[in-house]
Amino acid sequence: MKVAIVGGSGKMGQWFARLLHKEGKQVLLTSRSEEKLREVQQQLDVEVTTDTGQIRDVDAIMISVPLDAFESVVKQIAPHTSSGQVVVDVTSLKVQPVDIMHHYITSAVTLGMHPVFGPGAKSPAKQNFVLTPTNEQEASLAEKVKDYLEAREARVAMMTPHEHDKMMTIILGLAHFIAIVSADTLLHQDRFQQMKEIGSTTYKVLYTLIESVISEDPELYASLQMGFPHIGEIEEQFLRNAAAWADLVRNRDTQAFADRMSALKKILEQTDPHFQKAYENMYKISDGL
């Protein structure tokens, strides 16, 4: 089986190239930058090209490009796709990319897939993947992809593109927003470096989250924030809640603070069977840092 990864010089493209090559698949990486492709080729020992037309000879095509370049890339590769091929995208949003693939790619079977992790993962094991089939052909392909991933101990969920994007608005959008705003607050404090040295376990975990987000591509994270549906409403709700909690502290209303926190604790105890292990799990994370 031969797989082409469009945008293969990027971090996630390389991640999938490494996985597929290790399993004995033929891998072809395409990208606009010949220099980057050569660098990746030296590391992974795979075939590379700047000629998009070469994808006509592969069995499967994976699209791993930024959201803002997605439509132009799909428009470019579409004439080289054919029946018998499958085309899978790995963007973090699904509604728009899936619609774009349906519009331009009329012969090959397409499928939206979101690997909900970054290129730092060592393998698919214990990682989350979301598949978003929209018709019977795509559902059949999704079942095969699901079997492939689950055989490698990955966790796979299936849902519609709209369901995916709505959930990712919270899972990624709000989480990234909290980390970025926390960084903007923390890094403007005096002696923040010393705080890191003497920080508590909670602080270390927060700091790791901050660094992991800030270390990524700012343009990617900006495009995600602009692309998530209703993200503005969610972030405004977060800011209102933050203001309400700050008011409790400002007014030194100890009882109201404790009561409100107790109410949240009760909800988590009722909805999360592993809630009681949260403190222990935090230390496991911290010990691994």
145 and 192 in one domain? no
Residue 129 CB neighbours (<10 A) = 20
Buried b / exposed e across 3-18, counting CB within 10 Å, b at 16+? bbbbbbbbebbbbbbb
| pLDDT at residue 289 in the model | 66
179 and 57 in one domain? no
Query: What's the DSSP call for residue 172?
Result: I
The residue type found at 283 is Y
83 and 109 in one domain? yes
Domain end residue (candidates: 136, 159, 182): 159
280 and 187 in one domain? yes
Domain end residue (candidates: 130, 159, 188): 159
Residue 243 CB neighbours (<10 A) = 10
88 and 155 in one domain? yes
Q: Which domain holds residue 74?
A: 2-159
Stated pTM of the model = 0.87
CATH code (residue 139):
3.40.50.720
| pLDDT at residue 285 in the model | 79
146 and 8 in one domain? yes
Q: How many domains does the chain have?
A: 2
211 and 176 in one domain? yes
CATH code (residue 217):
1.10.3660
183 and 142 in one domain? no
155 and 188 in one domain? no
User: Splitting the chain (289 residues) into consecutive groups of 10 residues, what average pLDDT does each group show?
Assistant: 93 94 94 86 89 95 94 97 97 97 97 96 97 98 98 98 97 96 93 86 92 92 92 97 98 98 96 88 77
Q: At 49, is the secondary structure helix, strand, or coil?
A: strand
149 and 26 in one domain? yes
Structure tokens at 274: 């592993």
| pLDDT at residue 197 in the model | 86
Strands (E), the chain: 2-6, 26-30, 47-49, 60-63, 86-89, 109-115, 128-131, 155-158
| pLDDT at residue 262 in the model | 98
| pLDDT at residue 45 in the model | 85
Place of tokens 């370049």: 69
75 and 19 in one domain? yes
